[in-house]
Amino acid sequence: MLKEHSVGILATGRYLPERVLTNADLEKMVDTSDEWIVTRTGIKERRIARDDQPSSEMAVAAARNALEKAGLTGEDLDLIIIATVTPDMFFPSTACIVQEQLGAKKAAAFDLSAACSGFLYGASVATQFIKSGVYRYALVVGVENLSKITNYEDRSTCVLFGDGAGAAILGPVEDGKGFLSFDLGADGTGAESLKLGAGGSRIPPSKIQPGSPDNYLYMSGNEVFKFAVRVMNTATDTVLDRAGLTKDDIDFLVPHQANFRIIDSAMRRLGLSEDKVVVNLDRYGNMSSASIPVALDEAVSEGRIKEGDTLVLVGFGGGLTWAASAMKWSSVEKGQE
Ligand code: UT7
């Protein structure tokens, strides 16, 4: 029997494209207003990848940033998981392209499709391998290129999404620190409420009709909103309970960044003040799987999240899926921005 290790995040990294799309820009593109977007979502601007920029390029930049802070190189990695709904191609996996660019010769590599819950799904999978002693170091990246599947003539979705990548290096940490518990879940009855219709086996690439709504991200906002509020609560309670903690133990909530009203409802229910909740959707919008790792990286590098802090990370999205984790923060990197 192999010795079980406590597993945590040794370092985080991020990459955000330079191009900024503001609410004022969107007012010129569709019938919307800065006032509607800010009051209904909390979003002010988002980042947009270059037209010729694949997801792998953003993932590699975030991964290099995290590896450097962890004091590791690609060759140290045993496993690469890329959580994304906007891979470079249907296959090979974006993880294999990232593996080659990082020179991570010994790493197993695969993509994981759990939409906005993808980073935490990936972290939980990597944790099992490290905990059991099979692997030592894993790279988990949430990366999205949502601008490539967004219809910029549809005001109900185009104001919401942005592009970016967040990375984490997972490895063994001091006993009792790192990931304390996980809760993963799915409700496939909501599969049609958030989707990209074309490009898979139902509408294969050779049958795609230019201009069809199937070529763009579709979301039934109200349905996903109700689901999100519900599972944020249940998943948070579950991970606290599994870790033997209560809401009073939370130092920081790091939620998926879809809508400030969803975050606000969780914050009030948990009795948390605003300084205990990490929010960046005003600057980046909803980056699906990249939202949580980017938020985490910013809070750590700004020195907000510190050694020994108790965190709850919680995400929800397409699938429909949800995922949460309670953590005791322990990393090799110290805040430095
Ligand atoms: O990351 C994956 C998980 N995703 C989420 O968690 C998203 C969850 N859903 C949401 O955040 C919200 O449902 C939205 C932000 C998408 C929409 O907000 P809402 O308050 O649910 O608005 P609604 O869809 O009920 O629309 C209200 C009104 C409608 O007009 P009428 O029918 O009342 O006249 C919409 O046509 O707002 C209109 N509307 C807009 N108006 C100005 C919708 N989008 C816009 C817009 N600008 N961009």
Strands 79-83 and 217-219: unpaired
Taking the C-alpha atoms of residue 96 and residue 94, their distance in angstroms, rounded to an integer, is: 5
Residue 121 dihedral angles phi and psi, to the nearest 5°: -55, -45
Full pLDDT tens readout for the chain, 337 residues: 445 789 999 999 999 999 999 999 999 999 999 999 999 999 999 999 999 999 999 999 999 999 999 999 999 999 999 999 999 999 999 999 999 999 999 999 999 999 999 999 999 999 999 999 999 999 999 999 999 999 999 999 999 999 999 999 999 999 999 999 999 999 999 999 999 999 999 999 999 999 999 999 999 999 999 999 999 999 999 999 999 999 999 999 999 999 999 999 999 999 999 999 999 999 999 999 999 999 999 999 999 999 999 999 999 999 999 999 999 999 776 555 5
Q: Say whether pTM exceeds 0.85.
A: yes
Taking the C-alpha atoms of residue 331 and residue 337, their distance in angstroms, rounded to an integer, is: 16
Amino acid in position 13: G
Taking the C-alpha atoms of residue 44 and residue 96, their distance in angstroms, rounded to an integer, is: 35
Strands 194-196 and 217-219: antiparallel
The catalytic site residues sit at 116, 256, 286
The residue whose C-alpha atom lies closest to atom 16 belonging to ligand 1 is 221
Residue 229 dihedral angles phi and psi, to the nearest 5°: -60, -45
Domain with CATH 3.40.47.10 in the chain: 6-176, 179-328
Beta-strand ranges (E) seen in the chain are 6-15, 19-22, 45-48, 79-83, 108-112, 138-145, 163-173, 178-186, 194-196, 217-219, 252-255, 310-317, 321-328
How many angstroms separate the alpha carbon of residue 134 from the centre of ligand 1?
45
How many angstroms separate the alpha carbon of residue 54 from the centre of ligand 1?
29
Cα within 13 Å of Cα(330), Cβ side: 17
Which residues are CB-contacts of 140 (< 8 A; sequence separation ≥ 6)?
81, 83, 119, 122, 123, 126, 167, 168, 170, 293
Contact between 302 and 325 under an 8 Å Cβ cutoff? The reply is: no
Topology classification of domain 179-328: Peroxisomal Thiolase; Chain A, domain 1 (3.40.47)
Pocket around ligand 1 at a 6 A CB cut-off = 32, 36-37, 40-41, 116, 155-156, 159, 221-222, 224-225, 228, 258-259, 262, 286, 288, 317
Contact between 37 and 43 under an 8 Å Cβ cutoff? The reply is: yes
Residue 21 dihedral angles phi and psi, to the nearest 5°: -110, 110
For 24, 98, 104, 154, 199, the CA distances from 216, given in Å and listed in that order, are 23, 25, 33, 10, 10
CATH 3.40.47.10 assigned to domain 6-176? The reply is yes
Buried b (16+ CB within 10 A) or exposed e, 64-83: bbbbebbebebebbbbbbbb
How many angstroms separate the alpha carbon of residue 309 from the centre of ligand 1?
35
Tell whether omega for the bond before 217 is within 30 degrees of 0, i.e. cis. Answer: no
- Report the residue among 86, 156, 223 best suited for mutation to probe ligand 1: largest number of ligand atoms under 8 A from its CB: 156
Buried b (16+ CB within 10 A) or exposed e, 114-146: bbbbbbbbbbbbbbebbbeeebbbbbbbbbbbb
Q: Which atom of ligand 1 is nearest to the CA of 159?
A: 48
Query: Strand, coil or helix: what is 3?
Result: coil
Query: Strand, coil or helix: what is 217?
Result: strand
How many angstroms separate the alpha carbon of residue 25 from the centre of ligand 1?
18
Q: Which atom of ligand 1 is nearest to the CA of 157?
A: 16
Contact between 279 and 286 under an 8 Å Cβ cutoff? The reply is: no
Could you count the other beta carbons within 10 Å of the beta carbon of residue 103? Answer: 11
Strands 19-22 and 217-219: unpaired
